[in-house]
Copies of this chain bind each other. A is one copy, B any other.
Amino acid sequence: MNKDKRKLIKMSLEGVRIEMPSQKPIILLKEAEGNRYLPIWIGAFEATAIALEVSKIKTPRPMTHDLMSNILKKLGCTIKNIEICDIKDNTFYAFINIKNMKTDHMEIDSRPSDAIALAVRCTCDIYAAEHVVQSAGLEIQSIEDEVEKFKDFLDHISPEDFKEEDK
């Protein structure tokens, strides 16, 4: 993909939810300046890693994403931002954009869940490519609409329709 033409949308993490009846965790990203939401089904471990950090729960020992964040810090690296860059065959793809002492920019291929678990630890920005939000986003106009549309969405889609990112 031509990177110059890749329009990025700033997203905020609305939360991690476990939806019934699938009982599978879902990340919900929201367009920072708009009404589009991007739902991504993820694994239970990655969901826990995100939820622990968002809830500011400290574990006695470093969990896997804490370790990764600690390694980066000790190596003098910072995460500039992460980017949900593509969706192919219902699988989301992400980049972690790292700045280290040698190079200003280094892109690492990642699943969105790992990228978001790192982003919440490094409080960096989360972006999604416009074509990803266009193809997999849900537009919601108001809070009232939100509940109904999200319910409707969850009634009509299953994790099997929407391939889990880590399979």
Q: Which of A's residues lie within 8 Å of B, judged by CB? A: 45-46, 59-65, 67-68, 70-72, 74-77, 91, 93, 96, 98, 100-102, 106, 108-111, 114, 165-167
Q: Is the CB of B109 within 8 A of A59?
A: no
Q: Which residue of B lies closest to A164 (CB)?
A: B61
Closest to A100 in B: B75
A108 touches B74 (CB 8 A): yes
A61-B165, A63-B166, A67-B96 given; 19 more Cβ-contact pairs under 8 Å = A45-B64, A59-B166, A59-B167, A60-B167, A61-B91, A61-B93, A61-B166, A61-B167, A63-B111, A64-B65, A64-B114, A67-B111, A70-B108, A70-B109, A71-B72, A71-B98, A74-B106, A74-B108, A75-B106
Q: Which 10 pairs from chain A and chain B are nearest by CB?
A: A45-B45, A68-B68, A61-B111, A67-B114, A64-B64, A64-B114, A67-B110, A71-B108, A61-B166, A75-B100
**Taking the full assembly, how many copies of this chain does it contain?**
2
Given contacts A75-B75, A77-B75, A100-B75, contact A108 B67 (CB under 8 A): yes
- How far does the alpha carbon of A74 sit from the alpha carbon of B95 in the complex, in Å? 13
Contact residues in B for A70 (Cβ distance below 8 Å): 108-109
Chain B positions within 8 Å of A108 at CB level: 67, 70-71, 74
